[in-house]
Chains A and B, each alone.
Chain A
Amino acid sequence: MADVHLPMTLTPLFAGLPRRVELDAPTVDEAITQLEERFPGLRDRLCELGHQQLRPHIHVYVDRTRAQLDTPIDERSRVDVIAAISGG
């Protein structure tokens, strides 16, 4: 199971969403799909333009390497979803 870490800006938006979740998913896209099934609306908060790409300031890293939606995930991968750059 991949070890998925979610940003603190995301969890308050969905009741019961933990900061850290284990998922069995072959790609980043599939991991988000599984989260969407449990927390409807979550994909909208991470993806844009028909859900075809990550939002500009949402960065995903798989095993410390910058990833996109089609990036593969291994069963022992660590996946970090980061709310990046913006703020102030």
Chain B
Amino acid sequence: MSRTVLAIGTRKGCFVAESDEGRRDWQLRGPFCEGWPVYHAIVDSNGTLFAAAASEWHGSAIWRSKDLGETWTHSSQGLEYEDGRRISKVSVLSARHDRVLVGVEMPGVFESTDDGDTWAVKTTLEGQPGFGEWDDPANQPPGHLGMSAVFEDADDKNHWWAIVQGVGLWETTDDAKTWTPRNRGLRADWPREHEEIGFCVHKVARGADGVRMFQQNHVGMHRSDDAGQSWTEITEGLPTEFGFAAAAHPHDKDTFHVIPLDPGHGRVMPDGKACVWRTEDAGSSWQRSDKGLPQENAFVGVLREGMANDTYDVPGYYFGTSTGQLFASNDDAQSWTEIAGYLPPISSVEVAILD
């Protein structure tokens, strides 16, 4: 019997929720990481938990647990720029190919090849268009995450992508030696100094075939049919063009889920009705998935890493809100149940299936 494990990053530490293949009953544990703000927590294929956390007092560190939260260590050895630029937070993790990558702010990616004991700079995307400008603290909004996403190809260690918040998406096929901006066709409702960058990419999810991609942008949902080489907007049919979280179906490349939010200061689900929106035709049409979700006075938001899916034959989906509710679906997003209702504000939800 497989174990289904959720790693939940919150404003006040990391939590773990565990169930079996049925995903009906959940046991919640935590808070871990001494209550540090956890921006992203993941479980790798060996069952090791990593949490990217940044204490306002004690700085940034990557926490690690090899027993699903029973015991923890933390390290920031090497997690520092030599040129004096300050790392204000560690934002996003990826653990594949016998290494761990962490995206940080100021923008850069650090790598650990010893299971998180020590870290070294992997890339800052130096030399890319606009590099000096996005590194300028004066250009960074509050809460800036810098390198807000890092995601890797499952088979090819050299092939991965990185997002610089408010700037754009990049691809490398030689393990960060060279980079190519992948923002062609994206919408931007503001002047841009460089043709290839200046796009506010919130979240990219890869489709089941490894070629299809979906993107929640600051302005619009977008789809790519050529692995990010070009993008087409697919916002029509959604209640807003704005949102953060997204999740692709693990077996059907045309099915994808997104959580639209009001785009102003509120950034909560429209009309107080909690809802995940689903397309089964690659964005040509959208349907509400709200069975089991609160439909009145539910002014909840979901952040960039706040939604995940597992890979069972009938996949499960999970999302956590910035007001501490954790919802799950064990029936391919046909219905939802609340796992937890009173967690701290949730930054991230990730899921792993462990044997």
Chain A residues in the interface with B (C-beta under 8 A): 7, 9-10, 12-13, 41, 44-46, 48-50, 55, 57-58, 83-87
Contact = CB atoms under 8 A, between A and B. Distances in A.
Interface residues of B, number: 15
B331 to A, nearest CB: 39
A9 B55 contact: yes
A7 B57 contact: yes
B76 interface: yes
Contact of B57 (A44, A49, A55): A55
Nearest to B58: A45
Contact of B59 (A44, A50, A87): A44
Nearest to B80: A50
Contacts of A85: 56
A41 B57 contact: no
Nearest to A51: B80
B74 interface: yes
Contacts, number: 47
Q: Is the interface of A mostly helix, strand, loop or mixed?
A: loop
Given A9-B34, A48-B86, A49-B84, A83 B57 contact: yes
A55 B55 CA distance: 11
Contacts of A7: 57
B75 interface: yes
Interface in B62-96: 74-77, 80, 82, 84, 86
A41 B75 contact: yes
A44 B84 CA distance: 15
Max chain B C-beta neighbours (<10 A), residue from A9, A13, A46, A84? A13
B58 A41 contact: no
A86 B56 CA distance: 6
Contacts of A45: 55, 58-59, 61
B57 A13 contact: no
Contacts of A9: 34, 55, 57-58
A49 B76 contact: no
A14 B351 CA distance: 29
Nearest to A58: B57
Contacts of A44: 58-59, 61, 76-77
A57 B88 CA distance: 12
Contacts of B61: 44-45
Nearest to B81: A49
Contacts of A86: 56-57
B74 A41 contact: yes
A49 B74 contact: no
Contact of B58 (A49, A50, A55, A87): A55
B83 to A, nearest CB: 10
